[in-house]
Chain A
Amino acid sequence: MAGTVTVPGSSVPSTPLLKDELDIVIPTIRNLDFLEMWRPFFQPYHLIIVQDGDPTKTIKVPEGFDYELYNRNDINRILGPKASCISFKDSACRCFGYMVSKKKYIYTIDDDCFVAKDPTGKDINALEQHIKNIMSPSTPFFFNTLYDPYREGADFVRGYPFSLREGTHTAVSHGLWLNIPDYDAPTQLVKPKERNERYVDAVMTIPKGTLFPMCGMNLCFDRDLIGPAMYFGLMGDGQPIGRYDDMWAGWCVKVICDHLSLGVKTGLPYIWHSKASNPFVNLRKEYKGIFWQEDIIPFFQNVTIPKDCDTVQKCYLYLSGEVKEKLGKIDPYFVKLADAMVTWIEAWDELNPATPAAENGKAK
């Protein structure tokens, strides 16, 4: 059957490929050799490559991939003065790719992430699992002890209210990593040899009201439902902080998803993370973030988005106001960030004019 991935000899319904509905966004400064390993899984899809760093350098894309590539000059040209909200010299620039995409779903992956193997030794088709996650409902209102009840072989357990078994739309599918785990700099320094070797065969919904550290290495989301909230902040060159781009997006996304009754899943699929970044460099980037997050987390835990914010953009603009007022006291960086959040929404709306029938993330 065209357009689907079939499991030979199995009665499991096949997962649709969604090749015309999903873009793969990859930030890179070096090269895209890693795509060779992903070729069997990624080749059907359109790639959006966001080239960070020196725009005069040519990034070689392996043959046979359908892609568009944007470097800093392109970003400046397309966004004009609004380009100031896109980070420079940091993989946070990938969110530009989210903005220019015209598809419903985005999958983003780092260029040091490879195909992992499951415990039987079989290659893991990460994209297929993300699609399964995002196309099945989430269950944020009550924790199911057997994890994702929509997975093959699982279900809701005894005691799960029937009125909650329809679930909510899934906005985000957060995958994990084998080998080099996503640790912060202090943990990397203390445990440089630790490798994540445990394959946890589960997907689960993160409960409503619970924040989590969202990693951008292996992430899939529904652009229609939550896209405007996936701003990866101001990081890198000229900024006091780095390696908090995905974290920031994750906190904003979760608060807005909770408000709009959308679901966030985490767990499978795993990818193989091959490169450990330099912990001393990381420490310098994360340093301020480690202290600031002590205030940032309570901020997100306590923020209440007003009922009349019924689109992602409205929620996000409300958040930016709160960031400026409440976090601006900690450091002027947050005032800049709040302004950038507004610029981002303006740029998003400009590049993605809403048709009356398709307002982003409208609550059910």
Chain B
Amino acid sequence: MKRLILYLAALTSLAVSAADITLAENGTAKAVIVIPEKARPIVQFAARELSDHLKAMTGAEFPVGVKPGPDVNIYLGFGNANSFATDEYVISARGTRIDIYGKDTEKPVDLFDYYYDNPDKGTLRGVYNFLDSLGIRWLAPGKDGVSIPECKNLRIPEQEIRFKPYFSYRKNSDGYDFMTVHPDARGYVDSVKEVYLWGIRNHAAVRYSVVECHSERHLKLFENPEWLAHPEAQQLMKNGKRNPHYSCWTDPLTKEIWRRAANGYFSGKTPQECGFLNLKGYLGSKWPFPFFKPDEFMIDPMDHYTGNDGRCYCERCEEFRKQHPCKDDTEIIWRVIADIAKEIGEKYPGKYISTLIYPPKMQIPQTVEIPKNVRVRISLRGPSNLIFPHKIARDIESLQQWGKYFKPEDFQVSSFQCTCGFGGFLPGMLDSYPHLIARYIQTVKPYCAGIFVETLNLTHTARNLDVYIFLRLMWNPERDVEKELKEYFRLYYGPAAAPAREMFRKFEDNWIRIEREILSEKETAIGLTGESAEYFRKKIWSQVYDTAEMKEIESLMQKILKLSPEGTVYAKRARLLQKYLVQWMQDERSFVMEKEERRQQLKLSVPKAAGSAPSEEEWTKAPEYKLISSQKMGPGLKAAGSFRLLASDDMLFIRAELTEPKMDESKTDPGHLSGNHDVWKDNCVELFFYAEKSKKFWQVIVNDNNVWSSQTRGRVLNRWEQMAGLQVKTERGEGKWIAEITIPLNALETDGTDLRFNFTRERNVKGVAQECSTWSPLAMSGGWHSPDNYGTLIFEVKKH
């Protein structure tokens, strides 16, 4: 807190000069806000925003009215902005007059509309930039996310600013579903409107153009009787069936339907007048989403999925492909798009056709000329490709190639920051990388109108920083990311800025490691769940966010909590960070890792035997491993047992001593010979081996009568197979039996570092219930056959 005040004092004193304009003195307003007599709703809203923020800053009431006051007057929405571009604004401050204006919508205040669709917010933009220049920041959604410096004497320098952002398109993925997708949403806001407001204040652009993917599905042809009556216009799938959800793009009807739709749309007709009886309008449009941008109509085929690549295999399409060879259906589909765009361009100047660069049309068309009135959106991975020089080079080349065909303003990038969140792929981890975002913005800057980024994670706390930085730098790419970050942590975490910043620095460094060292291994699987997800989670939790790293994160978290004074907004923010990031990471991690970490603690050291057969002395010195009951919550063992291990260069020796007060009552079938498949029903012990790298599994069963059988596993199934070179010697004695087992190490296919092992016993004697015991406490009865429950053999280092 102290640092904050010092900083502000410095800022204020710097600003004092002869040409300064005084807005407040000793907590009293020295200015009024003046709006036109019939001010548009958005100007009234801008005045309220200005007055509220100034009050919070100075403690003074700044009246809003139509009449100027005796001191300074802040005029909102008076200038002539007819020629202004979207987002362009003026701040002019001279003497006692301050003017802020830009192009303003006539529509009423509706935060959904302002956030998503209404681009004309010039005066409001100006107001937010004015407040920004006073040090006010909207660091997170909601009231607690606002940072307003206290300043009872507020002066500003005279200034003349006319600003237009470099990028016309700057869009994050926050939206209507904020409250339902984030468990911590209510930690920030009470209603989604506050999220819209956060976006507006940080200058998120509206849904610009090429809003959606796959507009074909929104035409709902599959319900359209005309379409259904013409199966030949529908996709012929590889299996010989027609699919009414997809089209044959060489069929004249397909083209005719899209032509009619586009013409109808721009001529102001309803879908019904064009033969689409089943379509309903979206927002103010007569047509369904995504057909609601006045100057744009989207033609884009359905998405594909496993089982349907979306392409038509009718004779005509196949013939077309022969004549116009192309890797995908670019030539086929662009032919339709280009023809319709040309017609629209001639009939309705200024109107556009939009589409995606997306399968099955990823290529640049060679046989079709792309008309000028086409807009596209190209889908790229985004900032994380900067980690791999070859990937970012490929993306840039793609931008350059496609960029030749479009004006930058008609060409936008869609990118993704959702590796962890998508499909719950890596729960508890975060792909946070503000530095990469900054570099990425600079990288794509020469080529396009802007970026949409899908920032997705399971909590908002895990993504707030990245969204904020993205919006700050997209509004003004000249901003320095280091300065922005420093400021963010200083303002958001206050006295705990340093440990918070360190924590997020860790997250970014760790993410780069995860991408580089782990995810790059199996690119095809990312985002898909199942085996791979499990594999990656374990790997990341054990190699990057290992116990040591988690301890450091926890210790930083404790520092943050300790430095955040109770009762302040910093403490609130710190608690969100703890609950929805650090705690959440810890929970998710322990969920995946707890058992594996316990397993990794289970180690059996195997001393080296000098000769090819261990001496008695060596056996006595070798550590003894005791068996425990393998019945969960069962009674203690009636008959104890233990074993010892030794190894030579190529043999593993096991000697087990098994207490047996009723040796004569053994249930072992004397007729069993080695290799018998029922040995496990005898009075016996079982040895389990699993080599992690080769995945070789062996189970060796030895009864008390010198008989043994073994099985090993193929990819899936076990098969009985006597392990070559294995030797067994058992001896029944007074009150116990002893088993000596010698195992050739090469049969186990281990490299000596990856051998998992467990030893179990099935005591089968007459008159006593079966008693099972195990060495590994994880391998209780019911869990013997899973290597997840075995310990690891640690071979004494070979002496060379």
- Whether A and B are associated in the same complex: the answer reads no
Q: Which residues of A are interface residues toward B (Cβ below 8 A)?
A: none
Q: Which residues of B are interface residues toward A (Cβ below 8 A)?
A: none
